[in-house]
Structure 1
Amino acid sequence: MNAQRVWTVAHKDLIEVLRNRQALFPLIVIPLGLAVVIPASLMDFITSPDTSDFAGALMAFMTQMPAGVAPTHLNPDQLLVYSFAVFFMAPLFLLIPSMSATVIGSSSFVGEKERRTIEGLLYTPITNRELVLGKILASLIPSIVVTWTAFVCYALLVNHYANPVVGEVFFPTASWVVLMLVMVPLIAFLTVALIVAVSGRATSSQAAQGTSFIVVMPVILLTVGQSAGLLLFDTKVTWVASGIMVFINVLVFLAVARIFNRERILTKLR
């Protein structure tokens, strides 16, 4: 595999993404909503005096947490805020790389088919693996940058609202560091790889975006499972999930590169 050719493909697509206002707008709105607006509203609510209903729901969630995942020296009010900031928001945050990668990937690859600018690239002496990896990187890099930027905003938000209640700086935790550095790139990679997989048959960006449901749905189930106390995103669970994701990503990438059919795409362009 030629790294220079991979980067040439990725660099070209990155420039096009930065020039595409339709792609950039969701990249601002999605992280802003999931990492700032929703957490700020809920954090302001649970740190206010009248939080009986929501606090009751969170307390029920906290009673199902395994022993040792939260600091034992916190009182109930402090534990309530800690649990929301650390555990409750974790799976919801994973929607950001998936949704961001979907927007960029569909615009980068399928959008190029719609504009009929991909034909020249398909005729170049570049292997399928190099082409697929270059396309994936072009969507992966902005998605990671956007998610990490959103994470910094969320960390500042937590420190602003939660630290005065908890009485100490506790965020980011080790599980969140693993989540951001390992899980986020893996989820974004898988999302884009799935979009590339259907690019040969997809006729529009909207059709390709439907593939993100395959990735988003498990994340939603994780959110429901965590809210019900069935699964908790502590450090151990995050590492195990990351290991599984690495295995899945390798298999998906090899499969996508193998089934990628230039002739089919060129035929549909004619």
Structure 2
Amino acid sequence: MNWGAVWAIARKDAMVALRTRAVVLPLIIVPLVLMVGVPVLVGLISGMATHIDAPSSDMTELTNALPPDFGEQYAGLTEVQAGYIYFILYLFAPMYLVLPLMASSVVAADSFAGEKERKTLEALVYTPTTDRELLLAKILGGWIPGSLVGLVGFIVYAIVADIMTLYVAGRIVLPNPLWLLLAFWVGPAAAALGLGVTVIASSRVNTFQEAYQIGSLIVLPIVLLVVGQAAGAFILSNWLVALMGLVLWIINAIIFAIATATFRRTALMARL
């Protein structure tokens, strides 16, 4: 394995992508909206409801669905306060996965398709690397930025969420084991899943937009997680999050194995 060439291509991909407006804008706007805007907006509404003693809805079903230790940790809170903490810790958790998934997909969409648009693909395919090394470089070029965006997003979210939960309920709730698992175990796996699918798509289409549109379909399972929690079908727990990460890593290994077996740079040249 020519790791020098692999890292050189991966580094070049990341740097080129981060100079592209179509890549940079989503990497700025989406984290700000998700990690800052949403918790602040919901927190302000919850805080106002708490301070004006607004009537709260019946949360018996929600309380019964929560992990047993939730009631013990947050005993004495009003229903509005407990509801906001539930939102911060559980309901919003699947939405966090959009961040590493989106970031890696955006960068990966620019890999082969971006090379075609910039007319640099021919030089790339003649680099002294094997097909496996070239594919690995393209994957690392998206996975590293995607994972970093996810980790930075987690740090920002934890700070913002703690400020808002202090305002609403007088408590600091993050980081906790569930969110640490999300940030350091499931997030990188989600980033790998997004870029694996998108890199394969990027090698088979001609434009960045086509590759990104195909890769964005990976967000659908996250939407199902959000809907499932909101409907009370399940509540994320530490073991469930750990299992979810394991499943994602297994899927990633399968995707990478298939991609390695089917990727041929000669096919790229044929589509130039």
Asked if structure 2 preserves the Cα contact closer than 8 Å seen for 1:174 and 1:235, the reply is: yes
> Which whole-Å deviations, capped at 9, do the CAs of 1:119-147 have from their partners, x for residues lacking one?
11212231222111111111112222222
Could you say what secondary structure the match of 2:14 adopts?
A: helix
1:154 to 130, 152, 157: 157
How many residue pairs are counted as aligned between the two chains?
268
Matched, 1:260 2:263: yes
> Which whole-Å deviations, capped at 9, do the CAs of 1:166-225 have from their partners, x for residues lacking one?
433221111100100111111111111111212232121111112224420001000001
Matched, 1:38 2:38: yes
> Which whole-Å deviations, capped at 9, do the CAs of 1:139-174 have from their partners, x for residues lacking one?
112222222222222111111110244433221111
| Equivalent position of 1:6 in the other structure | 6
Could you say what secondary structure the match of 1:229 adopts?
A: coil
Q: How far, CA to CA, are the matches of 1:24 and 1:47 in structure 2?
A: 33
Q: What are the within-5 Å matches in structure 2 for residues 64-143 of structure 1? A: 64-69=65-70, 71-77=72-78, 78-143=81-146
4+ residue segments displaced more than 4 Å: 50-53, 57-60
Q: How far, CA to CA, are the matches of 1:96 and 1:160 in structure 2?
A: 21
Name the TM-score, length of structure 2 as normaliser: 0.90
Structure 1's 236 and 215: CA in aligned 2 closer, same or farther, altered over 3 A?
Answer: same
Q: How far, CA to CA, are the matches of 1:138 and 1:57 in structure 2?
A: 48
Please tell me the residue identity of whatever aligns with 2:16: E
Asked if structure 2 preserves the Cα contact closer than 8 Å seen for 1:82 and 1:162, the reply is: yes
Name the TM-score, length of structure 1 as normaliser: 0.91
Structure 1's 44 and 73: CA in aligned 2 closer, same or farther, altered over 3 A?
Answer: closer
Structure 1's 59 and 156: CA in aligned 2 closer, same or farther, altered over 3 A?
Answer: farther
Tell me the percent identity. 31
How much has 1:57 moved relative to structure 2? 8.1
Structure 1's 88 and 115: CA in aligned 2 closer, same or farther, altered over 3 A?
Answer: same
Could you say what secondary structure the match of 1:47 adopts?
A: helix
Please tell me the residue identity of whatever aligns with 2:215: S
How much has 1:99 moved relative to structure 2? 1.5
Segments of structure 1 that go 5 or more residues without pairing to the other structure are none
